[in-house]
Structure 1
Amino acid sequence: MHAILKALIYKPLYNALIFFIAVIPFHNVGVAVILFTILIKVILFPLSQKSVKTQFAMKQVEPELNALKEKYKDNKQLQAEKVMALYQERGINPFSGILLLLIQFPILMALYYMFLHGGLPAVNHANLYSFTLVPAHVSSTLFGVDVAAKSTVFALLAAVAQFFQMQFMLPKQPKKAAGTPNFSDELSRSMNTQMKYVMPVIIFVIARNFAVVVSLYLITSSLFAIGQEMYVRRKAAPQPGVAAYNK
């Protein structure tokens, strides 16, 4: 791992995880990863909340968006300009979720690196800060499973959690109308189907090839995302266009 990435990403995350292991009862790595994930999600909550609110806002302007796409369907460049102008007018950043993904990817890689290169379950003192609490011992077994090993069961649980997250968060698609199919609706329906059914498969494949700690991170992340979605829905004032988003 590059020295800069190690200093800026890996070591802070590693020390935070070791701290959790040291302070929780039984010094269990699996429980520490769950608490560690919740902490990360709480820190990232403003970003993720903004992303969820963006989804609501985009749903609100969907009628205007569809009208623009229909009006400028023969001029794709002008269509794109009008769409972006609408987003700017309403203060919508359609790429707000990308930053969140870019932040979470190094966290997953850091977790994998900790176990791949001997940072856990044995504590690597060379990567600890002088003020970091060190556990007297480390337990790497959770529900009878070694969290440093691979597990098909936990990978499947991560995939199921991802499926329910997508099922809960993605907007409900309207029924197909009779007549000529609308390209925008068909594309949206196709993308939603892929997100609901393809993403869980991808998550399963990834989790199956990594240590259980990665599955724990993914499962906790999905459950947190569902809870956050419920919170944002309750906080959001009912407005035209939002009802179609809520199930």
Structure 2
Amino acid sequence: MSILNPLFEAVAWVIMRIHAWLSVPFGASSGWAWGLSIVILVMLMRLVMVPLFVKQVRSQRKMQAHMPQLQELRKRYKGDKQRLNEETMKFYKENGINPLGGCLPLVAQLPVFWALFNVLRAISDWQPGTTPKYGLTIPVVQSAKDARIFGASLADKFLFPLPHQTLESRLVILAFVLVSAATTYLTMRQSQKRGMMQQGPVDPDNPAANMQKYMMYIAPFFALSGLYWQFGLVIYWVTTNVWTLGQQH
């Protein structure tokens, strides 16, 4: 038994409650009921994380307000990396800056993502005559396996497809992965443009700014890992990206 089982069971419980509510208008085995269950799960999680988002914004603003001093440190210790790191960390401590503050929302949502991955895998691996994992019930698991969202089931993958998969389901997953990559790019681009408006033109000698620029083009390729994921996880990630894009705006 994994020490993370309570988390998996909690996510499974929330999904079952949402699904039970959506089953009334759409039907238990409806793709709408299961697709919207994941979307609403993301929305509830992101609402809970609003305080972390506020901390992220405050951390970013504090970092931006002290950017001229940080740039001065980089120029002063340009040839001494060790001294630069020491002085930078000292500066962070003296001014109450948390350089990892901007990562809080991402770190917070990873456990839920991992839990959903395991819940979906439990649904996919369930065989008639066995007891489903994580507190899932047999009717719920059966309805999840029967549900089709634009022709694809929650457990379907683009790469390493399941035996029953059709070309249509793989194309649907591919389309969602491309949307995920596009929204990842737009989120990074929006963040960079906001930073340029607040800080002015990017200093070509600023490694952090240059790294952010490169990441704007590199990050969307990470979204292509969705080609390995179950379709339910791709829906989760697209919803997260769209929420982040709107929240940043």
- Fold conserved (TM > 0.5)? yes
**Aligned 8 A contact 1:48 1:100 in 2:** yes
The correspondence of residues 62-73 of structure 1 with structure 2, limited to 5 A, is 62-73=67-78
Distance (whole Å) between structure 2 residues aligned to residue 46 and residue 191 of structure 1: 27
Instruction: Return 148-157 or 189-198, whichever deviates more.
Output: 189-198
Q: Percent identity?
A: 24
Aligned pairs for 1:25-104 (under 5 A) are: 25-26=25-26, 27=28, 28-104=33-109
Q: Could you tell me the TM-score, scaled by structure 1's length?
A: 0.76
Instruction: Tell me the residue number matched to 2:5.
Output: 6
Cα RMSD between the aligned structures? 3.0
Structure 1 residue 17, shift from structure 2 partner: 1.0
Change (3 A) 1:136 1:32: same
C-alpha distance 122-34 of structure 1, shift in aligned 2 (>3 A): farther
1:233 corresponds in structure 2 to none
Q: Deviations over 1:159-191 (max 9, x none)?
A: 1111111111123386578xxxx532xx23431
- State the TM-score, normalizing by the size of structure 2: 0.75
**Residues 156-235 of structure 1: pairs in structure 2 closer than 5 A:** 156-170=178-192, 171-172=195-196, 182-184=204-206, 187-204=207-224, 206-230=225-249
Answer whether contact 1:20 1:32 (CA < 8 A) is retained.
Answer: yes
Deviations 1:193-244 (A, max 9, x none): 332111111112x1111112111111111121122223xxxxxxxxxxxxxx
1:236 aligned residue: none
1:146 Cα shift?
Answer: 2.5
3-state SS of paired residue (1:108)? helix
Stretches of structure 2 lacking an aligned partner (at least 5 in a row): 158-172
Give structure 1 stretches of 5+ with no counterpart.
Answer: 231-247
1:19 paired to 2:17: yes
Q: 1:17-51 deviations in whole A, cap 9, x for unaligned?
A: 11111112324111100000011111122113212
Q: 1:86 to 1:211 in 2, by over 3 A?
A: same
